[in-house]
Amino acid sequence: MKKKINSMLLIIIFLFINFSSVYAGEEKKSYLKISENNVTVYEALDIAKKHILQVMKTPSDNSMWKGNVEIVEKKILFDNEYEISGYYFKICTTEGKDAGYIIIDADKSKYPIKEYSDRGIPFLEKAVEEVKNDVGLEQNKVNEESTKLFLLGDVEYIAEINTDENEKMLYDISDSNLNRIDELPNIDDKKNTFSPFWQNYFTTDSNPVDGDGIIYNPYDGESGYYDNNYCLISGGDLSYFITDDFYGNDNCAPTAATNLCYYYAVTHGYWELELDSWDGTYNEFYKVMDTNEYGPGTYDSCIAYGYDVVFGVAGIRCDTNMHYGTDEGQKLVNDLNNDRPCHLIMHNHRTYGDHSVLAIGYVDFTYDSIYNDPSSTYIRIADGWSSTADRYVWGSCYGTWNYVSVIVY
C-alpha cells in the first residue's frame, strides 16, 4: 500500500463561514473599520491552522491535537464599539469529540494568539450555555442569530443574549461567576508592538539549501508552509542499479529504464522483464533507445518507444506516454500517487546536467493563499549514481524536465 502521509499532518480543516448578523440596534455602529492593523478572517484562520500544526509537533500528554482534527465553527468577537476584536475557532476531532478552541486577535498590534486549549469543550461555549439556562431566561426564547460575544481588552469576555421579545441581556463570562451587567464596560484597549510576531506567521519561504543540487531532506529548505504531502511508491525503497553496473558511457536512460523494470519485477512479480538477466534487459533498452547512436546519450523521443519494445518482448502490456514539461514537478504527482514510478529526464540541471532518473516519490509543500495555493515540490529519485534512492531534486530548480509515464497492466 502506498505510503502517503497527508500532513495536514493529518489535519482536515472544514471551515463553516457563517458570519453572524451584526448588531443593528437603535444606534447602528460601524463595525468593519479597515486599517493596516486589521486582521481578516482568512488571515486569522491561516494563523489558527498554523498554530494547530505547531502544537501537534510537540503535543502534551493530554492534548487531543495528536491526530485528525477539524475547525468546525467560527465566531466573530466584538469590542464595545461593535467592531471586530477577535476570532474564535472551535476544534473537534474527526470523530466529533470536542478538542478545544483557539482565539485569534483581530489587531496586528496585539499578540496573534489570544488564548487556546487543545482539549475539551471550549469555555465560551460552556459559559454561553449556562447563561441561556439561567433562571431569568427560561420564560423567554433566545434569538440565537443575534447572540454575540465580546472580547474587551486582554481577557474580558461578554455575552450579549437577545430574546425574541427584543430583550437584550449582557453577562460577564470571563470567569465562572457569570454576572449579569447593565452595559458593556469601557476598557482601555492598550496598543502593543507585536507586529514582528504576525510577520513570523505570514512569512513563507521556499528556498532549499541547495535547490540546484542533490537534496536529502526537503524540509531543510521550507518554512511557513500550510500543508505538506509525502509519498513513496509501494516497495520503492529498494537498492537500485547504477550506471557503472552496465557497460557504456552516457547510459543513464537505459539504466533508469532497467530500474523501472526491476521495480515492477520485485514489487509486482513481473519477472518476465528480466530478459535472461538484468544485463539483458539493459542491453535491449540500450539498443532500442538508440543510446549513443547519434551522439552522446539518449534522445528524449526514443525513451517511450524503448519501453514499448522491451515490455512487448517480455509479453507484458503497458501504456507509455511522453510528457514535455512537469509544471515544476506537479505533473508527476498523480502517477506517483497511483504507485507508478516515472522515468524523469532532466536537462541543464546544475548538478546532474542532462540526466535520466527513476522518480519514486515526492514531498510537496503548500503555501496557503486565498486565491491560489502555490507549492514547492521535491521528487525522490533513484539517480543512477547511488544505489540508495534517498535523494531528491527540486521541481523549481534551474533547467527543464520531461518525463515518461508507464502504466503496466
pLDDT in tens for each of the 409 residues of the chain?
Answer: 333 334 333 333 333 333 333 333 333 333 444 455 688 888 888 888 878 877 776 667 778 887 778 889 999 999 888 889 999 999 998 888 999 999 999 988 887 888 888 888 888 888 888 887 764 555 456 666 668 899 988 778 998 887 767 778 888 988 878 888 888 888 766 665 555 566 656 555 566 656 678 888 888 777 777 778 899 999 999 999 999 999 999 999 999 999 999 999 999 999 999 999 999 999 999 999 999 999 999 999 999 999 999 999 999 999 999 999 998 888 999 999 999 999 999 999 989 999 999 999 999 988 754 334 578 899 999 999 999 999 999 998 888 999 999 999 9
Q: Please, what's the b/e burial string for 288-327 (b: 16 or more CB within 10 A of its CB; e: otherwise)?
A: bbbbbeeeebbebebbbebbeebbeebebebebebbeebe
Q: What stretch of H or E contains 45?
A: helix 41-57
What are the structural domains, with CATH classification, of the chain?
7-201 (no CATH), 214-408 (3.90.70.130)
Residue 364 to residue 375: CA distance in whole angstroms: 7
Residues, the chain: 409
Residue 128 to residue 147: CA distance in whole angstroms: 9
Residue 253 to residue 314: CA distance in whole angstroms: 19
And the C-alpha cell for 78? 466584538
Exposed, middle or buried by CB within 10 Å (0-12, 13-18, 19+), for 17? Answer: exposed
Alpha-carbon distances, residue 104 vs 48, 205, 270 (angstroms) = 7, 23, 56
Angle at 175 between CA 125 and CA 104, to 5 degrees: 55
Other C-beta atoms within 10 Å of 16: how many? 9
**E runs forming strands in 267-399:** 318-324, 342-349, 353-366, 375-382, 391-394
Task: Determine contact, residues 359/341, Cβ cutoff 8 Å.
Answer: yes
Residue 18 to residue 393: CA distance in whole angstroms: 43
Cβ contacts of 29-32, under 8 Å, gap ≥ 24: 29/81, 29/82, 29/83, 30/83, 31/78, 31/81, 31/82, 31/83, 31/84, 32/83, 32/84
**E runs forming strands in 245-286:** none
- Cell 496557503 identifies what position? 368
